[in-house]
Amino acid sequence: MEGLTLSDAEQKYYSDLFSYCDIESTKKVVVNGRVLELFRAAQLPNDVVLQIMELCGATRLGYFGRSQFYIALKLVAVAQSGFPLRVESINTVKDLPLPRFVASKNEQESRHAASYSSDSENQGSYSGVIPPPPGRGQVKKGSVTHDTVQPRTSADAQEPASPVVSPQQSPPTSPHTWRKHSRHPSGGNSERPLAGSGPFWSPFGEAQSGSAGGDAVWSGHSPPPPQENWVSFADTPPTSTLLTMHPASVQDQTTVRTVASATTAIEIRRQSSSYDDPWKITDEQRQYYVNQFKTIQPDLNGFIPGSAAKEFFTKSKLPILELSHIWELSDFDKDGALTLDEFCAAFHLVVARKNGYDLPEKLPESLMPKLIDLEDSADVGDQPGEVGYSGSPAEAPPSKSPSMPSLNQTWPELNQSSEQWETFSERSSSSQTLTQFDSNIAPADPDTAIVHPVPIRMTPSKIHMQEMELKRTGSDHTNPTSPLLVKPSDLSEENKINSSVKFASGNTVADGYSSSDSFTSDPEQIGSNVTRQRSHSGTSPDTAAPPPPPPRPQPSHSRSSSLDMNRTFAVTTGQQQTGVVAHPPAVPPRPQPSQAPGPTVHRPVDADGLMTHTSTSPQQIPEQPNFADFSQFEVFAASNVNEEQDDEAEKHPEVLPVEKASDPASSLRVAKTDSKTEEKTAATAPANVSKGTTPLAPPPKPVRRRLKSEDELRPEVDEHTQKTGVLAAVLASQPSIPRSVGKDKKAIQASIRRNKETNTVLARLNSELQQQLKDVLEERISLEVQLEQLRPFSHL
């Protein structure tokens, strides 16, 4: 072919046309069909067209290469100018106007052509004027089309302003657009001819249709600035094809705005492959995608179900296999639905495919959901929302992609969960310390043994026992009447007594108890003693103790002893239960190894004495043989307390023999003194005492426990023994009480109440003690296991 020299305007124009014809985006060869249409639009006689084609060498080559195409265009211009078609005329004809391709408005075209030809610079200015739809400013025409595209994006079919085909042509493009519009509907199918009109058309077309479809497509192009086109002949802005597509797409869009139009848009898109980064989505493209997304799913944060997406993308007329592949690429989270980002990625891939780009094997980074979020967050108002939300309908796009946002969101959750785990461990550890509370509980709380629910078993019981003893002794002094006297007045003070019992110093308690001679006495007696003692021991902190509503079963009085005391007292002597209450926890048999032996020795004796009084069957008050002494109490609370006082029951068997002791009182006293020495149990005693549990001393138990228990158990045993001792003492004292008190029914009832409370307290103590026992046993087992494990090694 001869060398072809083109002016800038011609160059630009030709390149645009070439792009338009380059449907396949090959950038090398234009589709013959397109070219033919173009030539037809040139309104040249067919023979001329054929001649042109022959001249440019297309017929020889069989295809329209760029050079051939350009030559052909030139020849068209020549022909249109009326010059004879000669190969030589390509270059000889000077000032050849740009070839005109008529689609509908020749005038406009000519005008445009004129403008083009006359205004090469304007073209440049056009591009400058025309708000470059993002980067796509290919040629002026391209930019122009962009303008038109924009109106389209705005979904406003008629925005003549944008088409601005050329600022120079103030002649309103609008009229053109209108005409175009009118034409479009009619020319719904005449895409080709319109397209043939060339780039000029595209702007108009777009303006007319205003459908957003093409916009994104065009905008999607990020071709080099138009100037580049002018500069390089070889460079063919691929996007130019977009322009040509406009008309077609425009028409379609005008006619069909719905999803169906998307197909045209897709076609438009076909050419809108990004120039710089084939996979980068430009803003316009993105906007278009978003709009399309809205047509399917109004909620931008929502999903497009697979079926809807399938229908939508099927319209693109891509083979199912390719669509399937596109889906695989774009459905990032494999959930069968498309979020906005996924949808945009898929759409973009479809467009690219349509433009001839091969589908990648992996999703390009620019199409990754997260990147799209980040990039376009500013573009689409909805996107920030997308980026922001952590959990949209089912999944947030950020979460969908393995992006940082999602990670950031999940991390806090993980941290929280880990924190929770930590707390769990803490809790578990803390629970282990619960058992230790018992021993730690300070006796200090007179008011209500209740204050320390679990813990204060042992000590209170002791204290209670002591107090009970004290009271008993006190009651003994005043005997028959005193209890009565005291009781009525002290009914309300029973609680005080209980508390006082708790706190009563060992001595006072001892005195009180010692005063009570008959350990076999009913709990009533003890209760009376307690009441008396209360009066006596007004100074004791117990007085401060409020009349704790007996109901408080002194949770702390898990010490069986205390409970037992109450129970036994209640059972044995309905009368003097108040006194019994004072004694409660005589004995949470907290094993106190050092002290256990001594006190236990005594206690068992005491317990026996008590037991005899109560004559409670070991079964009923298993832990507290002392309780057995108080048959009366048994009746009351035996059933309640028995179960709970297993621990003490163990001790009580030991106490049983004690029952036989003739001088349970004395033994109790001794036990009490012993218990006194054991501060720890004493501490718990008050709590128990407040319950009003009879100081049932599980005498035998402690002894037995010590024998069998491990070291760990010893403290418990000791405590229990103490408790039992105390209880026994109390019990011993109680039996003597009822006699004197029998008269006062009210007192009895009150004492009964208190005893019941004491029973509950003791029951609790019992349960707790049992728990401790279990724990200790477990420890023992573990130690034994370790020992065995170590043994074999020792031999090695």
Partner 1 sequence: MAVCVAVIAKENYPLYIRSTPTENELKFHYMVHTSLDVVDEKISAMGKALVDQRELYLGLLYPTEDYKVYGYVTNSKVKFVMVVDSSNTALRDNEIRSMFRKLHNSYTDVMCNPFYNPGDRIQSRAFDNMVTSMMIQVC
Residue 307 or 440: the one with the smaller Cβ distance to partner 1 is 307
Q: How far is the CB of 762 from partner 1 (least distance, A)?
A: 51
* Torsion angle of the four alpha carbons 482, 487, 490, 492, in this order, in degrees rounded to the nearest 10: 180
Residue 331 or 438: the one with the smaller Cβ distance to partner 1 is 331
Q: Which of 40, 310, 315, 477 binds partner 1 (CB under 8 A)?
A: 310
| 762/710 Cα distance (integer angstroms) | 24
Residue 306 or 356: the one with the smaller Cβ distance to partner 1 is 306
Question: Among the candidate windows 152-160, 221-229, 300-308, 454-462, which touches partner 1 by CB under 8 A?
Answer: 300-308
CB neighbour burial string for 512-548, b if at least 16 within 10 angstroms, e if fewer = bbbbbbbbbbbbbbbbbbbbbbbbbbeebbbbebbbb
| 668/637 Cα distance (integer angstroms) | 21
With CB under 8 A, what is the number of residues at the site for partner 1? 18
| Residue 336 touching partner 1 (CB under 8 A) | yes
Indicate the SS3 state at residue 468: helix
Handedness of CA 72, 76, 81, 82 (dihedral sign): positive
Q: Which of 50, 61, 231, 320 binds partner 1 (CB under 8 A)?
A: 320
Residue 281 token pair:
């989505």
679 Cβ contact list (under 8 Å, min separation 6): 443, 459
| Residue 388 touching partner 1 (CB under 8 A) | no
Q: Which of 82, 170, 321, 358 binds partner 1 (CB under 8 A)?
A: 321
| Residue 309 touching partner 1 (CB under 8 A) | yes
> What is the largest distance, in Å, between two alpha-carbon atoms of the chain?
150
Question: Among the candidate windows 247-255, 301-309, 445-453, 526-534, which touches partner 1 by CB under 8 A?
Answer: 301-309
Residue 167 or 306: the one with the smaller Cβ distance to partner 1 is 306
| Residue 306 touching partner 1 (CB under 8 A) | yes
Up-side HSE of residue 364: CA atoms within 13 Å toward CB?
19
Q: Which of 82, 234, 334, 791 binds partner 1 (CB under 8 A)?
A: 334
Q: Which of 323, 580, 610, 687 binds partner 1 (CB under 8 A)?
A: 323
Residue 171 or 336: the one with the smaller Cβ distance to partner 1 is 336
Residue 54 or 335: the one with the smaller Cβ distance to partner 1 is 335
CB neighbour burial string for 131-144, b if at least 16 within 10 angstroms, e if fewer = ebbbbbbbbbbbbb
| 587/568 Cα distance (integer angstroms) | 13
Residue 231 or 320: the one with the smaller Cβ distance to partner 1 is 320
Residue 485 token pair:
């006297």
Residue 179 or 310: the one with the smaller Cβ distance to partner 1 is 310
Q: Angle between the 106-118 and 120-129 helix axes, to the nearest 10 degrees?
A: 100
DSSP state of 694: B
Q: Which residues pair with 564 in a beta bridge?
A: 694
Q: Angle between the 340-354 and 212-220 helix axes, to the nearest 10 degrees?
A: 70
Phi, psi (degrees; rounded to nearest 5) at 589: -65, 55
CA nearest neighbour of 627 among 559, 721, 698, 526: 698
Q: Which of 18, 279, 327, 627 binds partner 1 (CB under 8 A)?
A: 327
Residue 309 or 586: the one with the smaller Cβ distance to partner 1 is 309
Between residue 360 and residue 379, which ones bind partner 1 under the rule CB under 8 A? Answer: 361
Q: How far is the CB of 312 from partner 1 (least distance, A)?
A: 10
| Residue 393 touching partner 1 (CB under 8 A) | no
| 493/751 Cα distance (integer angstroms) | 11
Question: Among the candidate windows 40-48, 285-293, 325-333, 767-775, which touches partner 1 by CB under 8 A?
Answer: 325-333
| Residue 395 touching partner 1 (CB under 8 A) | no
Are 456 and 441 in contact by the 8 Å Cβ rule? The answer is yes
Q: How far is the CB of 325 from partner 1 (least distance, A)?
A: 6
Q: How far is the CB of 423 from partner 1 (least distance, A)?
A: 34
| Residue 157 touching partner 1 (CB under 8 A) | no
- CA 695, distance to chain mean position in Å, is 53
The residues of the shown chain that bind partner 1, judged by CB under 8 A, are: 305-307, 309-310, 313, 320-321, 323-325, 327-328, 331, 334-336, 361
